Each structure stands twice: as structure tokens, then as C-alpha cells.
Structure 1
Amino acid sequence: MAHIVIGTAGHIDHGKTTLIKALTGIETDTTKEEKKRGMSINLGFAYLDLPNQQRVGIVDVPGHEKFIKNMVAGLPGINLVLLVIDAAEGIMPQTKEHIDILTLLGIQDFLVVLTKVDTVDPELKELVVEDIRDQLAETPLADAEILETDAVSGNGIKELLAAIQARSEELTETSSSGLARINIDRVFSVKGFGTVITGTLLDGKIKTGDELYVFPSKKKVRVRNIQVHEQDVQEAQAGQRTALNLANIATEELERGDVLAASENLKPTWMLDVKIKCLPEVEAGIGLWDRVRLLIGTREVMARTVPLGTEWIKPGTDGFLQLRLEEQVAVKERDHFILRTYSPMHTIAGGEVLDAAPHKHRRYKVEILESLRAKEAGSIEEVILDFMTNKKQPFTTLKELHEYLGQSQEELRPLLQTLAEEQQVLETKAGFLAESSYQKLQAKAETVLHDYHKKYRLRPGIPVEEFRSRMRDQLSEKELSALIRLLKEHGCIKEQQDKVAAVDFTVTFNKYQQAAKEKIEQTLSQNGYTPVKKEELFDLDKNAEEVLEALSGDSVIFLTHEYVLLAKTYWQAVKHLREYIQQHQQITLGDFRDITASSRKASMLILEYMDKQEITQRVDNYRILGASTETGE
């Protein structure tokens, strides 16, 4: 069975609390102040056992206009709303505002409950029902079932229970595949237990012993005990009203509006990009820098509005806003919210979050508007691409997508595979990379190499570590390696020894440099297996220094930073060494000196370089063949 939470809504004194007591036997007016005033101020909680033994949670939200923010705090996670209307009074101003709030928050399932029907004569009741139908005609409640009840006499209570059961059987269970998240709506202390919070579990599962993070403070807590409907349980699932006994935190360190989440990657933010619908009766609409009250989750914060793509959002229309907040919030994309005026307070708009941690951006930037439209469209593939394209770090892991979207990694893999087949996403060992993000990185790499080649025309390439440093930015070492592999696979760069170059780059000598090249190579050839100091080569020609650097790794090899050998000679030495070891299984320094007819010092320089290249491996006073099979051809 689905885990269902039912909310009640309606004008003050229309009988919500009395109705819930008749349904459940539980008094939801809990504080002395509430009982004294005869109205709900805070959220009241109860549970109901339906005839089919399904237990559902009930949230009795306040009806008085002054406590609208408490009402909104109770709505996240609600599946079905009982709109309570007094049979003698009909729809009142707060009833209308409740309807606006409920529909702006995206709630779709309603039952209209007419209360106190035994206190009015049938003729008046019929007039009230007719008026209700007229007033609901242009709202999502137009076809809602109207049930007549009287909580005092019990009239209609059985029928209401049957209707709730029928609707609950049709409702889809909230998925528990995401990471746990719960908006705190109450914080209190229980003697002998300590800190307790309550809320509706919006996503995922919570088990006894789990570690959670409090936002926006990011404090770490441990779940000591869990209750669902006043019963101790080992696990709470998405959609359930839940009480958690928390360890490692004091009551005064928490407040309503805080968020508990299983991931520490939920981001407290000062801004939100949102899509809103402005109510028709809001004459002024919503303009630039209007000060509003943002009611989201169980939190109320002040904010300033920045319309995007338009000067203002007109009454009865929808549009994009960036909300600049006066306090941080920690929310997720697709969370619903309400906007109310600062003073006097009344509801003006509502909508959903499209970007829960945006940057400050220009109001008419085309890329931002296109991104918001993609997020609004709701295609999971488009949302994945948008997230990957606009996040700060170009590479994206499955874990990040799981935390962002709430879908399991098993659900995400085939989507990413499809995007990869469509060449919109690249998969690497370091994560996934949107094609558009890769193109930006490729363009940056090409710029880095072009600038280097322009400055150092005779160098075969930029040193690998320098290239990595210039490309690093937000990339980890693993991501840098993955990027370089992609650049090579796509034919953008070539790598030789410890240098990186543009794939179409070649060193070109003028006639003076060509002359210096010939002098260097001739001198090295004449010296055979005896390495030459680079300073001696510099003395050959005024262009020799830059030409020698250009020849490094090509026709000449630097055995050390000081000694140079002709590459052809070096590879002849490698050939002779391998043939000797294949015949004798090993070679000594003396053996190598003999077969190359060189000095002890020269032989040592060459062999130590071979050790570094893994052509040989030193064992005591002799060498054997190493892992490298390079031949220099």
C-alpha cells in the first residue's frame, strides 16, 4: 500500500480539528494557546486507520490568515487534501486563498468536506453546495467530490472514510529510490531521549543508525530512533509522517525550516531560479526587486524578485524569476513554493524551483532562458544534459546525477547510454562529459597549444605537466588524464615522450637553423657512443641552442639535462644490448662498454637512461631486459 499523508485546509472555525478528532479520535490542537483560542496555530498531526487497515497520516494545517505560513509548512509531502467548508458559511476569503495555495503547490487530489450539516436546514445546505460548485468551477477542484458530514453527530463520517480509502487506493506511492530528505516542521525535547524532530519524509529512506546532515548548518547527526504514527520502526520510507530522535545535536541547534538530508552535497543557496504563476487578482503583477515572502518547505524567508526575460510578470500569467534571498535555504529542483507580499500579507504567486543553486546572471541572457525552459520541459534526458552543461565542474559522476535527480544509478545508466549513442555525452573513467562541455575544453586546449607553438616555434611541444597545469582549472588529476585521452582519441593532440603538441604541428627550420641542425647532428655522429655536453654543441652555431631543444626527442636524446646523444646511435646501442642479453640473459657495465667500444662514463650514462626508460632493469651489478619493447623505429 502507498504511504499516504492527508492534509486538511479551510477557513478558521469551519471544523477541521473537530472533523479529524471524529475520524481519528486524536486531538490536534495541542498547545494551551490553541485550546484557549479555539483554533490551530501550529501544525496538528494525527493518523487514521482506514476500513482496509491502511494507516494514513493526517496534517491539520491552520486556517487563520495570520498562520498561512504554518499552513504552507504542512503541505510538502501531502498526497490528498480535504478542503473543509462550513455548511452554514460556504466558501470564505481564507478558503479561496487556501485553494490558490494548494493548486500553486501542485496538489491535484481533493475531497471537499462540508461540515456541520446538521446545524443548517436542507434548503440552505443545497444553496451552499450550489454556490461552492459555482466558485470552484474555474479551479482544479471543479470536479471534486463533495461529502456532507457532521462531526458531532457522526453523520457522513463512514462515507468520508470510504471516499478517503477509495482515493488512497488510486494514489501512486512516493518513490523511495532517492537520497533521504525531510523538512523539519517541529523540534522539541523528550525527557530521557533528547532532541526530536518531525516532518514528512519527501525522498528516500531513513534507517535507525543513519547519519544525516542538517542544512543550512551542515552539522552531522545520527538517527537514534524512528517513529511513524507513534510506533517505533527501524525504517521510514518516502511519503511517511516521521519523528526522528537525533543524537549529536541539541534542540536549540535546530529550528523549523531546517532540512535533514542523507547527502552532504545539498547546497545552501542565496538565490533560486524559479518558474512562477502570478495570481490574476494581483493587480501590480511582479516586478524588479519586489520584496516578497518566500514560503518553501517548512521555511519562510524574505526575498527580492528579479524577472528573467521580461520587465515584469503580469497578473494571471507565468514566467521565470531569480529570487535573491535574505537568508540561505537548502532545497531541490522541482520543490514547490508560495510567494506572499511583505505587508499586508497575501498570496501573490507560486511555482517550482528550476535551479536550486544558480549563479547571479543577466536578466535577458538567452542561454539562461533556454536552460530554464529545458528544465521546465521536464524531459529527464534534457534535464541531465542541462545539469551536466551548466554545473561548475565539467565532469559528472553517476553519484552526482543520482543526488541531483533522485533516480537510482540503475535507472540513469540506460539514459546516459542513449545520450552517448546520440553523441551528446562522452563516457570516461573519470565520469560523464557533455559534448558541449568537451567542445569548450577542446577549444581551450587548442588555444593553449596554439599560443605555445607561436611563442616557441622550434619546440616539439609543451611539457606535459605545463599543459596539465594550464588545463587544470576545476579538473582533478583523474579528470585531466581522462580529458587528455579524449583529446588524443579525437585527433586533437599528439603526445611524444613528455611533450604535448597540436596534431598538425611540425617544427620547421629556416636555412640558418637547418645549418645549425646539420652541425649538431654531424658532431654527435662523429662522437658515436660518447655523449656530448650541450654547451659544446651551443658553441657550434648561434642558433644551436634553440635548434637543439627542437631536436630533443626527435633526432637527439638528452640522457641527462646536460649530456646529449644522437638518437640513431642510442637505438643502435639498445639493439646491441638486447641481442647480448638474449644470448647471455644479463649484461654488466663492462660488457656494455665492450660491445659499444665506449668509456665507462659514457656506458654508465647510456645504461642509466635505459633504466629510466624501462628498457633495462638493474639487479645488483648487472642488468636484465625491462618491460619496454620500444625500438625507436
Structure 2
Amino acid sequence: MANIVIGTAGHIDHGKTTLIKALTGIETDTTKEEKKRGMSINLGFAYLDLPNDKRVGIVDVPGHEKFIKNMVAGLPGINLVLLVIDAAEGIMPQTKEHIDILTLLGIRDFLIVLTKVDTVDPDLKELVVEDIREQLADTPLAEADLIETDAVSGTGINELLAKIQEHSEEAQERSANGSARLNVDRVFSVKGFGTVITGTLLDGAINAGDEMYVYPSGKKTRVRNIQVHETDVKSAQPGQRTALNLANLSTDEIQRGDVLSLSEKLEATWMLDVKVSCLPEVEGGIGLWDRVRLLVGTREVMARTVPIGVDWIGPGEEGFLQLRLEEQVAVKERDHFILRAYSPMQTIAGGEVLDAAPHKHRRFKAEIIESLKAKEEGSLDELIADFLNNKKQPFTKAKELQEYLGVDQEELQQVLAEMISDKRVLETKAGYLAQARYQKLAAQATEILSAYHKQYRLRFGMPLEEFRSRMRGNLAEKEISALIVLLKAAAVKEANDKIALQEFEVVFNKYQQTAKEKIEQTLANSGYTPVKKEELAELDKNAEEVLEALNGESVIFLTHEYVLLGKVFAQAVNAIQNYIGEHGQMTLGDFRDVTDSSRKSSMLILEYMDKQGITKRVENYRVLG
């Protein structure tokens, strides 16, 4: 059975707190100010033991207009909402706003709880019920069960408990995949324990001892202890109301509205790309640069609206916005939010985050609009493609995709396998790469190498380290290595620590060919005695340029100064392999005798072989590398 959290909603004085006390025995108005004023100011928390012994969390959210932001803060992670309505008063303006907020936040599971029924005339109660059904006819609450209760006399309490149990059994189990994430709604200090925070665990699981990150600050902390419903536990699961005792963090370093996550890759952002639904009764809709209050998670921040693809979003309409924030937030794609007017403070819209860390874009750019549509409506493969094509880093690990999409690992791997088979995605040791991103990187590599070949027509290719440096940009070293592997399959060739386009070939004119022959003949005549580069350069006016072209091909640069003919070097390698194969090892003197060369020449050749890994020096002799 799933872990569920129940929220209450309704107008001030309609009996939410009293109802929860009747259900649970817990008083959720905890502060002196709340008791004095007779209203919930902050979020109140309780838990309820159902007849089937299932324990569920309850969040009593404030009903007064001034405390709407606290109400919204309590709603993330809620499965079921009890809409509380006074039998004597019926639906009030705040009740309607609560319904709007709940609907905009994507909540669809409701119970309507009529309170104080024993205090009103039965005929009046029937009129109120009829009015409630009429006013809720075009809302998600149209078919919701209505339970008549009186918390003082106990009327309907058992029936309400049975209905809550029925809903809890139907609730879907939340996946524990992905990194744990919790919106902080309370922060306080407990003597002898230190900093304690509370919130509803939205994603993943938390274990005692886990290291977590506070966003947007990025501070690091450790979970010292976990409580769920006032009971110490070793781990908390998605959907549970959770209290965490945190180490290495003071109450000044974390606050309500912060996000606590196991992931170190959650991004703090100044912008959000969102899909919004504007309420029908909002005068003027949402225009360019309107100042609004963004309520997301447990945060309230001021923001400016930038409609995308349209001039404005009218009353009752849906559309895309980029929100430019006045403070950073840390959210994830598919998180819900509410927008309220700056003044007067009324709810105007709500929706879903499509991109949690976008760049600024032009308002009418077609590709941006298409990307947002894909994020809103796309199938899993379209969402994967959009993420791979638009994220800053071209290569993406499976874990990063899973955290972003919040899907089961098996389902993700199945879709990725299909995309790889269709060649829409490439799989490498450094991660997954969209085909379109690869084509851009391949074009960049081709441009770099083409320019090099044009400048150095007689060189086999660009030194590999230079190529890596030119391609680096947003790529890590292991990603460049993975890219080179892909390029070698179709576009480039690599040899002797140099890289070139596959179609590129060094072509000598007749003068350069003459210089080539002079160089190779001189080196052949010299045998195992390396020749200085400067001596070879004096053979012909084209010799220096041609010598560079021959490097790694028909000639070997043992050092920056000494050169050996490639065929001679190959003979030397063959000789030493045969000798060590027979004798087990070879000294410098042995090599000198075998090749009939000088000590200096032998040393130059053997040291180069050591660098290439052909041989390995052990004390005063060599073995095969």
C-alpha cells in the first residue's frame, strides 16, 4: 500500500483544525498566536491511524487569504484533499480560490467534508449541499464523495475514516527511483540534537547517514536521524511526512523554502520555462513583464512573466511562459506551481515546470516553442530526445536521464535501446549522445581538421593533443575520447598520435618528391646510426617541410633532433624481440652487437622503444614491454 499524505482545504473557521483533532487527537494549531486568533497561520501536521492500521500523514493548511502561500507550501506531495465546508455557510470566496489552487496544482482526488451538520436545520443543510454540487459541477470535484460530519458530536467521523481508508488503498505507490528530494517547510532546533527540518518526501528514499545538499545555497549536510510520524526510522520513503535531524548545519544555514536533495546536480536557477493555465476570471490575463508572485514547493519568490509564442495569455487560456525570477529556486521538471498577482494578492494562474534551468530565448523562436511542446506533450522517447538535444553537456549518463524524467530504470533502458537501434541516439563509454548533437560535433571536428590540412598540406594530421584542446569546450577528456571513437568509424583516421580526415592524403609535387627520395636514401645509407634533423634539412630547399610530412610515416623522430628510417627502426624492433624471446633479456651492449651500431645510437633507439612501450628497462637490461 502506498504512503499517502492528506491535506485539508477550506475557508477560515469552517472547522478544519477541529475536524483533524477529532480524527487524530492531535492539535495542529500549535502557536500561541494561532490559538489566540482561532485560525491556522502556518502549516499544521498530524497523522492518522486508519482501521486497517495504515498510518497516513495529514497537513492542515491555512484557510485565511493572507496565508494562501502557506497553503500552497503544504500541497506538494499530497495524494488526497479534504475540502472542508461549513454546513451553515456553504462555499465561500476563499473556498473557491482553494479549489482553483488545488486544480492548478494537478490534484484530482478529493473528499468533500461538510462540517458542523448537527448545528444547522436539516432543510438548510440540504440547500447548502445542493448549492455545493451546483457550484462544483464544472470542477474536478463534481463527482467527489460528500460526507456529513460534526467533530463535536462525532457524527460521520467513522464514515469519513472509511472513505479515507478506501482512497489510501487505491493510491499509487510512488517510485523510489531517482535522488531523494524534499521541500523544507519547517526549520527548528531541538536541544541536544541541533537542526531539524520537516517536509514531505517527494522523490527517492532517504537513509540515516546519507549526505545531502541544500538548494539553492549548495551547502552539504548529513542526515543524523529520521522520524516519520514521530517514530525513529532508518529510512523514509517517497510520500511520507518526514522530519530530519541534520548534522553540520545550523538553523541559519537552511530555511523554509529550501530544497534538500541527495543529488549534487540539482540546479539553482533564475529562470523557468513553464506551461500555465490562466483562470477565467482574471482580468487582463498575463502580459509581458507582469510582476507576479511565484509559489513553488515551499517557496514564494517574485517573478516577471515573458509569454512565449504569443503576445499575452488571456483569461481562461493556456500558454507558455518564461518566468524571470528575483531570487533563485531549485525545482524539477513537472513540478507544479501557482502564480498570484503582485497586488491585489489573488490567484491568477498555475501550471507545470517544463524546463527547470533554461536560457533566455527570443519570444517567437519556432524551435523554442517546439521544444516546449515536446516537453509538455511528448512521449518518453520525445522527452529523451529533447533533453539530449538541449542540455548544456552533449553526453548524458543514464542516471542523469532517470533523475530528470523520473521514470523506472527498466522502462528507460528499453526506450533508449529502441532509439539506439534507430540511430537517433549513440551509446558511448562517456554516456548517451543524440545523433543531432554528434553531427554538430562531427562538423566542428571536420572544420578544425580541414583548416589544419589546408595550412599543413604535407603533414599527415593534427597532433592529437592539439585536436583535443581545440575540441574541449564543454567536453571532458573522456567525452573527447568517446567522440574520437565515433569519428574514427566514419570521418577521421588516427596514427602516431596524429588525427586526420579519412579522405586526406599527403601528395608531393615533383620537387618535394625529389627531396623525399634524398632524405630516405640518406637515412638508408646511415642504417642504425640516427641522423640529425638539421643535416637532413640541408639536403634540399624542400627537405625540412618534407621531413615533417614523413614523420611517423617512412621516418621516425627518435628525439626532436635525431631521425631514423622507419624500415630500419622496424628491423631493430624485430631484432630485439627475437633476442629477448631467446635470452629473456637484452643489455645495451647486446643490442649494439646485434645491430653493429655505436653505443650512442643504440641508446637513442632503445630509449625511444622504452617510451613506445615496446621494451621496458629493468636495472641495466631490457625486457619486452
Contact 2:175 2:408 in 1 (8 A): no
- Distance across 2 between alignment mates of 1:442 and 1:228: 52
- Going from structure 1 to structure 2, the CA distance change for 1:293 and 1:541 (only over 3 Å counts) comes to same
Alpha-carbon deviations, 1:130-165, whole Å to 9, x = none? 211111111111111111122222222221111111
Q: What SS does the corresponding residue of 1:396 show, helix, strand or coil?
A: coil
- Distance across 2 between alignment mates of 1:524 and 1:126: 110
Partner in structure 1 of residue 215 of structure 2: 215
Alpha-carbon deviations, 1:139-192, whole Å to 9, x = none? 111111111122222222221111111122111122222321111111222233
- Distance across 1 between alignment mates of 2:293 and 2:535: 78
- Distance across 2 between alignment mates of 1:307 and 1:28: 41
Contact 1:272 1:358 in 2 (8 A): yes
Contact 2:276 2:320 in 1 (8 A): yes
Unaligned stretches of 5+ in structure 1?
628-633
Partner in structure 2 of residue 293 of structure 1: 293
Contact 1:179 1:406 in 2 (8 A): no
| TM-score, normalised with respect to structure 2 | 0.96
| TM-score, normalised with respect to structure 1 | 0.95
Q: Which amino acid aligns with 2:162?
A: A
Contact 1:206 1:236 in 2 (8 A): yes
- Distance across 2 between alignment mates of 1:23 and 1:584: 90
1:565 matched to 2:564? The reply is yes
- Going from structure 1 to structure 2, the CA distance change for 1:594 and 1:16 (only over 3 Å counts) comes to closer
Shift of 1:229: 1.7
Alpha-carbon deviations, 1:243-289, whole Å to 9, x = none? 22222222233221111111222111111111111111112111111
Q: Which amino acid aligns with 1:502?
A: L
- Distance across 2 between alignment mates of 1:234 and 1:591: 69
- Distance across 2 between alignment mates of 1:575 and 1:604: 17
- Going from structure 1 to structure 2, the CA distance change for 1:173 and 1:535 (only over 3 Å counts) comes to same
Partner in structure 2 of residue 283 of structure 1: 283
Shift of 1:462: 0.4
Shift of 1:591: 4.3
Superposition map of 1:78-227 within 5 A: 78-227=78-227
- Distance across 2 between alignment mates of 1:411 and 1:341: 41
Q: What SS does the corresponding residue of 1:289 show, helix, strand or coil?
A: coil
Partner in structure 1 of residue 46 of structure 2: 46
Q: Which amino acid aligns with 2:363?
A: R
Partner in structure 2 of residue 435 of structure 1: 435
Partner in structure 1 of residue 535 of structure 2: 536
- Distance across 2 between alignment mates of 1:575 and 1:470: 37
Superposition map of 1:186-585 within 5 A: 186-407=186-407, 409=409, 411-488=411-488, 490-582=489-581, 584-585=583-584
Q: Which amino acid aligns with 1:315?
A: P
- Distance across 1 between alignment mates of 2:209 and 2:228: 16
Shift of 1:586: 4.6
Q: What SS does the corresponding residue of 1:20 show, helix, strand or coil?
A: helix
Shift of 1:410: 5.0
Contact 1:285 1:313 in 2 (8 A): yes
Moved more, 112-121 or 69-78: 112-121
Moved more, 499-508 or 376-385: 376-385
- Distance across 2 between alignment mates of 1:317 and 1:356: 22
Shift of 1:239: 0.8
Q: Kindly, what percent of the aligned residue pairs are identical? A: 76
Partner in structure 2 of residue 631 of structure 1: none
Alpha-carbon deviations, 1:472-492, whole Å to 9, x = none? 11222222222211211x221
- Going from structure 1 to structure 2, the CA distance change for 1:601 and 1:219 (only over 3 Å counts) comes to closer
Shift of 1:593: 3.7
- Distance across 1 between alignment mates of 2:241 and 2:598: 85
- Distance across 1 between alignment mates of 2:583 and 2:221: 67
- Distance across 2 between alignment mates of 1:456 and 1:31: 79
Moved more, 92-101 or 592-601: 592-601
Partner in structure 2 of residue 606 of structure 1: 605
Contact 2:275 2:321 in 1 (8 A): yes
Shift of 1:226: 2.1
- Distance across 2 between alignment mates of 1:246 and 1:235: 14
Shift of 1:500: 0.6
Moved more, 285-294 or 426-435: 426-435
Alpha-carbon deviations, 1:533-586, whole Å to 9, x = none? 111121122211111111111122212211222222332343444445555555
Q: What SS does the corresponding residue of 1:47 show, helix, strand or coil?
A: strand
- Distance across 1 between alignment mates of 2:252 and 2:606: 71
Alignment RMSD (CA, Å): 1.9
- Going from structure 1 to structure 2, the CA distance change for 1:509 and 1:190 (only over 3 Å counts) comes to same
- Going from structure 1 to structure 2, the CA distance change for 1:608 and 1:205 (only over 3 Å counts) comes to closer
Alpha-carbon deviations, 1:486-512, whole Å to 9, x = none? 211x22111111111111100112222
- Distance across 1 between alignment mates of 2:598 and 2:334: 76
Q: What SS does the corresponding residue of 1:118 show, helix, strand or coil?
A: helix
Q: Which amino acid aligns with 2:105?
A: L
Q: What SS does the corresponding residue of 2:276 show, helix, strand or coil?
A: strand
- Going from structure 1 to structure 2, the CA distance change for 1:622 and 1:257 (only over 3 Å counts) comes to closer
- Distance across 2 between alignment mates of 1:599 and 1:48: 92
- Distance across 2 between alignment mates of 1:530 and 1:383: 64
Partner in structure 1 of residue 35 of structure 2: 35
Q: Which amino acid aligns with 1:207?
A: N
How many residue pairs get matched?
Answer: 625
- Distance across 2 between alignment mates of 1:62 and 1:307: 32
Alpha-carbon deviations, 1:408-437, whole Å to 9, x = none? 655543333232222222222222222222
- Distance across 2 between alignment mates of 1:254 and 1:620: 60
- Going from structure 1 to structure 2, the CA distance change for 1:57 and 1:594 (only over 3 Å counts) comes to closer
